Amino acid sequence: MTQKPHTIVICMGSSCFSRGNRNLVRMIQDFLKEQKLEDEVTLKGAHCMSKCDKGPVMKINEEVIINVNDENLTDLLAEKLLNSSSS
Ligand code: FES
């Protein structure tokens, strides 16, 4: 079984789901498609990550990201997935 280099785990707990993750899932899917990253990134849902008050929450490569919204999501994905040359 080959493993994709990146993993996004999006919180599908009821708090994050209603705060925006329901739509953010679709945005992530669109982003991956546009950037042709579907073979690079595993996208999966998870149960509540116990940070509901800071949600919506997701994890990108084991890094927990809080307060994700439709305004910062694209930059976040670009930074984490496209920009591997971090200093
Ligand atoms: S529902 Fe997402 S952290 Fe609780």
Which sequence spans correspond to the domains of the chain?
Answer: 6-82
Measured in Å, residue 68 CA sits from the centre of ligand 1 at 12
State pTM to two decimals.
0.91
Tabulate helix, strand, coil % of the chain (nearest 5).
40, 20, 40
Identify the architecture of domain 6-82 in CATH: 3-Layer(aba) Sandwich (3.40)
Distance (angstroms) between ligand 1 centre and the Cα of 46 equals 9
pLDDT digits (tens, 9 = 90+) for 32-78: 999 999 999 999 999 999 999 999 999 999 999 999 999 999 999 99
Pick the atom of ligand 1 nearest to 17's CA.
1
Residue-level pLDDT at 86: 46
- The pLDDT value given to residue 47: 97
Identify whether the C-beta of residue 70 lies closer than 8 Å to the C-beta of residue 24. Answer: yes
pLDDT at 84 over 90: no
As a whole-number percent, the residues of the chain with pLDDT over 90 amount to: 91
